């Protein structure tokens, strides 16, 4: 290991010489720290893995400026890309040839990330080096021509285009209709990745054979590798063409037995029509490809015909992609912060960092537009690391100025987790900024875990044991989330906003949220609900023991400076929204006769009682959604909705209320059913006895307060059990780590 403390300190770069470098020394990746003080980027630090890869000693490497320029002329474009990125102080990644000290050639994958000091200046570059010599040697043994074409015996798309040209020319002026279908065999690459070479070849051959059996006379099939096929179909109509494509799908989706496993393939179709879409073969193939790209985004087995609007959308997406590639260079990206609030204290308990893009011409580009695009075009690694670097910079600045600091959560996509260097890169950024790993939480979606790759599991294990928190995001939207809670070291689950949005009006969403909270707490996990925008939503979550909320109700995403001001102001949620006893009892009176409502209000008025009034069931439901209510006293006969119907809905949406019917009409059957089903607590008749009515209402409040006290005690026990379950969970994962180094 090389320590150049004096050189580092000259540039204001602080490194803790022992603990901070410990993770770097044991990393299997080569790590470099380069100075940005001069354009030559001299070496300031190299870990043991880098020295082993290159054969240099510490003394020989110290201060060198030519470590990255050795190699063959054929690598100059890659090296030019590297120099350009470093000159622009932007992250990049390249594959390059280099020579060890003994002169032997080796291939390496190099990722460079700029490090900004507390003043925002890029003072250093962090390099991550992996030896990929074996992989490159294997690639060079492959023939230059597509091996898939050799396996299938099919022509490539160039030959297909020539044949299509011939068919178009031969048609002359006849009313011939041809359909060009671009086909993408989905899961082809995924399935192939887990098979040996012979099975991969067999899979390609079986797919081509099944496609070929679906062809008719004078039709043609081509293959360009990577699961990409094209067919020239002759069909009488669009519906006939769709029927043909569906028959091909059925043929392909029959299971294939390979390597003692059943492989299932799916395929999407994009179709263009001659002569409707074009009379040019090249254009038809292009249009079919455009339709296919949209089909892939729709579903795995989509069949879409080309529309001109598709080309427009593709152009817009291409333009947006080009702009996104320049966004980091031009300083258009920034990090905003949205507070996460504790429902027991009302105070800010954490914050989520969110990438925002402000384009000078396009304006604010929504994250749901540019994040998926970044994942598809490979920019998500750079953007994701930039966000974490910015978070580390902000946390370091807050700490240095003695400002309040809370844990910061950052989203990490499935695409980022495919990078085996991710764990090392995150630890490097934390170490260089001096930030405590426990102050960083990574929010991970189920998509990260679906492949269950050793890379993802190793990275999760590395981050967990470094002290970084892990949360399972968008919980409830996937198929196997429960098993993931058991197998991976998460500390928190995040309820997806799609459930929160409708929880007040949708009993199913409310039931799902209750189940998630109960299950998570049993496993020793905390629960955060996203997308909380109304007091009704917050009150429901609070009453059902959710731990934290995040959403517009408390704060929108704001800049780092605005978030610090929010913390300094000590902003909290109102006490009425927390897991605490209300200061006043609340009674809701519902009757369509205004005089009756006035009389009841005068009779029951007390200083410690807050009385709300409504003249219909719908008005009553609206008030219940806006205010915490203990007891409801409702008339039975009201226009539009009877009292029993109103109270039945109130029970479903606000089950903790105590519900009483007060009516001059005795509809025995409906009232009996309501009592038996628990929709109402008591049925009282008009005209009433003032003393008895007050007594019944007092009993109802006592019943509610007893239930509230039971819930309070349950919460206290729950909190203790949660702490115990969390400790047991931590111990269990530690035992598994000690046993085999990976989560079970």
Domain map of the chain by residue range? 5-139, 146-306, 330-569, 585-707
**Is pLDDT at 288 greater than 80 in this prediction?**
yes
Q: What is the pLDDT of residue 127?
A: 84
**Is pLDDT at 527 greater than 70 in this prediction?**
yes
**Is pLDDT at 729 greater than 90 in this prediction?**
no
**Is pLDDT at 573 greater than 60 in this prediction?**
yes
Average pLDDT over residues 390-403: 91
Which segments of 199-319 are extended strands (E)?
Answer: 220-223, 228-234, 256-258, 261-263, 266-274, 303-305
Q: What is the pLDDT of residue 188?
A: 42
| Average pLDDT, rounded, for the chain | 80
Q: Which two tokens stand for residue 159?
A: 């030959």
Q: What is the pLDDT of residue 66?
A: 54
User: Which residues have a Cβ under 8 Å from the Cβ of 148 and sit 6 or more positions away?
Assistant: 204, 223, 224, 225, 226
**Is pLDDT at 532 greater than 90 in this prediction?**
yes
Q: How far is CA 134 from CA 50, 76, 138, 366, 441, in A?
A: 17, 21, 6, 41, 35
**Is pLDDT at 541 greater than 60 in this prediction?**
yes
Topology (CATH) of 5-139: Beta-Lactamase (3.30.450)
Between 206-210, 238-242, 542-546, 661-665, the lowest mean confidence (pLDDT) is in 661-665
Average pLDDT over residues 457-465: 87
**Is pLDDT at 194 greater than 60 in this prediction?**
no
Nearest to 128 by CA among 91, 98, 101: 91
Share of residues in the chain with pLDDT > 70 (%): 80
Higher local confidence (pLDDT), 47 or 597 = 597
Average pLDDT over residues 36-56: 78
Between 38-52, 139-153, 191-205, the lowest mean confidence (pLDDT) is in 139-153
Rounded to the nearest 10 degrees, the angle between the axes of helix 157-171 and helix 281-298 is 120
Indicate the pLDDT class of residue 500, thresholds 50, 70 and 90: very high
Superfamily designation of domain 330-569: EAL domain (3.20.20.450)
Higher local confidence (pLDDT), 157 or 366 = 366
**Is pLDDT at 548 greater than 60 in this prediction?**
yes
3-class secondary structure, 31: strand
Higher local confidence (pLDDT), 672 or 512 = 512
Q: What is the pLDDT of residue 142?
A: 43
Q: What is the pLDDT of residue 137?
A: 61
Between 11-20, 512-521, 544-553, 606-615, the lowest mean confidence (pLDDT) is in 11-20
| CATH 1.10.287.3510 given to domain 146-306 | no
Average pLDDT over residues 362-374: 86
Indicate the pLDDT class of residue 130, thresholds 50, 70 and 90: confident
Residue 157's CB is within 10 A of a number of other CB atoms, namely 19
Q: What is the pLDDT of residue 1?
A: 39
3-class secondary structure, 404: coil
**Is pLDDT at 212 greater than 80 in this prediction?**
yes
Which segments of 496-628 are extended strands (E)?
Answer: 526-530, 548-550, 585-590, 609-614
Residue 499's CB is within 10 A of a number of other CB atoms, namely 22
Q: What is the pLDDT of residue 15?
A: 40
Average pLDDT over residues 664-690: 73
User: Which residues have a Cβ under 8 Å from the Cβ of 27 and sit 6 or more positions away?
Assistant: 47, 49, 424
Q: What is the pLDDT of residue 144?
A: 38
Which range, 141-150, 310-319, 347-356, is most confident? 347-356
Average pLDDT over residues 518-540: 89
Higher local confidence (pLDDT), 75 or 468 = 468
Domain covering 585-707 in this structure, CATH number: 3.40.50.2300
Nearest to 475 by CA among 526, 432, 418: 526
User: Which residues have a Cβ under 8 Å from the Cβ of 9 and sit 6 or more positions away?
Assistant: none
Residue 687: asked if its preceding bond is cis (omega within 30°), the reply is yes
H/E element holding 660? strand 658-663
First to last CA, the chain: 33
**Is pLDDT at 515 greater than 70 in this prediction?**
yes
Q: What is the pLDDT of residue 578?
A: 82
Indicate the pLDDT class of residue 666, thresholds 50, 70 and 90: low
Average pLDDT over residues 230-258: 89
Between 362-371, 510-519, 572-581, the lowest mean confidence (pLDDT) is in 572-581
Average pLDDT over residues 675-699: 82
Query: pLDDT tens-digit profile of 294-328?
Result: 888 777 788 999 988 887 777 777 778 778 888 87
Between 96-100, 462-466, 545-549, 671-675, the lowest mean confidence (pLDDT) is in 671-675
Average pLDDT over residues 68-75: 50
Query: pLDDT tens-digit profile of 407-458?
Result: 999 999 888 888 888 999 999 999 999 999 999 999 998 777 775 567 778 8
Query: pLDDT tens-digit profile of 72-113?
Result: 545 667 777 788 888 888 877 787 777 777 667 778 888 888
């Amino acid at each position: 290991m090389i320590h150049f403390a004096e050189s580092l300190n000259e540039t204001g770069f602080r490194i803790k010489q022992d603990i901070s470098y410990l993770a770097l020394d044991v990393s299997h990746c080569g790590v470099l720290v380069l100075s940005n003080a001069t354009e030559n980027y001299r070496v300031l630090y190299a870990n043991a893995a880098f020295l082993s890869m290159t054969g240099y000693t510490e003394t020989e490497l110290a201060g060198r400026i030519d470590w990255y320029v050795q190699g063959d002329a054929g690598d100059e474009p890659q090296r030019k890309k590297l120099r350009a990125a470093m000159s622009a102080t932007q992250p990049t990644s390249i594959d390059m040839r280099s020579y060890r000290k003994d002169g032997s050639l080796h291939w390496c994958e190099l990722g460079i990330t700029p490090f900004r000091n507390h003043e925002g200046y890029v003072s250093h570059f962090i390099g991550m080096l992996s030896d990929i010599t074996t992989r490159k040697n294997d690639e060079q043994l492959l023939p230059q021509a597509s091996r898939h074409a050799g396996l299938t015996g099919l022509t490539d798309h160039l030959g297909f285009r020539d044949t299509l040209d011939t068919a178009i020319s031969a048609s002359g002026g006849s009313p011939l209709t041809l359909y060009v279908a671009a086909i993408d065999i989905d899961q082809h690459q995924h399935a192939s990745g887990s098979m040996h070479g012979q099975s991969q070849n067999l899979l390609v051959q079986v797919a081509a054979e099944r496609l070929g059996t679906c062809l008719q006379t004078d039709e043609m099939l081509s293959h360009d590798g990577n699961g990409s096929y094209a067919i020239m179909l002759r069909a009488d109509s669009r519906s006939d063409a769709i029927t043909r494509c569906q028959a091909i799908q059925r043929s392909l989706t029959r299971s294939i037995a390979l390597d003692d496993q059943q492989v299932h393939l799916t395929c999407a179709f994009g179709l263009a029509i001659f002569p409707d879409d074009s009379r040019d073969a090249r254009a038809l193939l292009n249009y079919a490809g455009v339709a296919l790209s949209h089909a892939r985004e729709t579903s795995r087995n989509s069949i879409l015909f080309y529309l001109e609007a598709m080309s427009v959308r593709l152009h817009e997406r291409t333009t947006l992609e080009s702009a996104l590639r320049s966004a980091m260079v031009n300083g258009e990206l920034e990090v905003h912060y949205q507070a996460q609030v504790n429902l027991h204290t009302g105070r800010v308990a954490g914050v989520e960092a969110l990438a925002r893009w402000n384009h000078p011409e396009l304006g604010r580009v929504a994250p749901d537009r540019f994040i998926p695009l970044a994942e598809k075009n490979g920019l998500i690694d750079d953007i994701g690391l930039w966000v974490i670097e910015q978070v580390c910079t902000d946390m370091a600045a807050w700490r240095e100025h003695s400002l309040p600091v809370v844990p910061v959560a950052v989203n990490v996509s499935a695409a980022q987790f495919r990078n085996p260097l991710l764990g090392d890169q995150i630890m490097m950024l934390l170490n260089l900024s001096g930030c405590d790993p426990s102050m960083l939480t990574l929010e991970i979606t189920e998509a990260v875990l679906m492949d269950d790759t050793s890379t993802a599991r190793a990275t999760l294990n590395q981050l967990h044991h470094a002290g970084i928190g892990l949360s399972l995001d968008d919980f409830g939207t996937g198929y196997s989330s429960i098993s993931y809670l058991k197998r991976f070291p998460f500390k928190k689950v995040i309820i997806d906003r799609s459930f929160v949005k409708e929880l007040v009006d949708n009993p199913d969403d409310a039931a799902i949220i209750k189940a998630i909270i109960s299950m998570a707490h049993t496993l020793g996990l905390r629960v955060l609900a996203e997308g909380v925008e109304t007091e009704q939503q917050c009150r429901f979550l609070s009453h059902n023991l959710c731990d934290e909320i995040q959403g517009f109700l408390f704060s929108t995403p704001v800049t780092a400076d605005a978030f610090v001001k929010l913390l300094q102001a000590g902003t909290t949620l109102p006490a009425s929204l927390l897991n605490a006893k209300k200061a006043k009892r609340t009674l809701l009176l519902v009757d369509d006769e205004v005089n009756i409502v006035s009389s009841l209000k005068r009779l029951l008025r007390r200083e410690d009682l807050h009385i709300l009034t409504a003249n219909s069931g719908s008005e009553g439901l609206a008030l219940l959604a806006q205010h915490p209510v203990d007891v409801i006293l409702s008339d039975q006969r009201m226009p539009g909705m009877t009292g029993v119907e109103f109270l039945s809905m109130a029970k479903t949406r606000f089950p903790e209320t105590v519900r009483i019917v007060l009516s001059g009409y005795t509809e025995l059957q409906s009232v009996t059913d309501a009592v038996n089903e628990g929709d109402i607590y008591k049925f009282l008749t008009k005209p009433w006895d003032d003393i008895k009515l007050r007594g019944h209402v007092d009993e109802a409040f006592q019943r509610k307060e007893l239930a509230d006290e039971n819930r309070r005690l349950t919460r206290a026990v729950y909190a203790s059990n949660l702490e115990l379950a969390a400790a047991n969970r931590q111990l269990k994962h530690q035992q598994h780590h000690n046993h085999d180094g990976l989560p079970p």
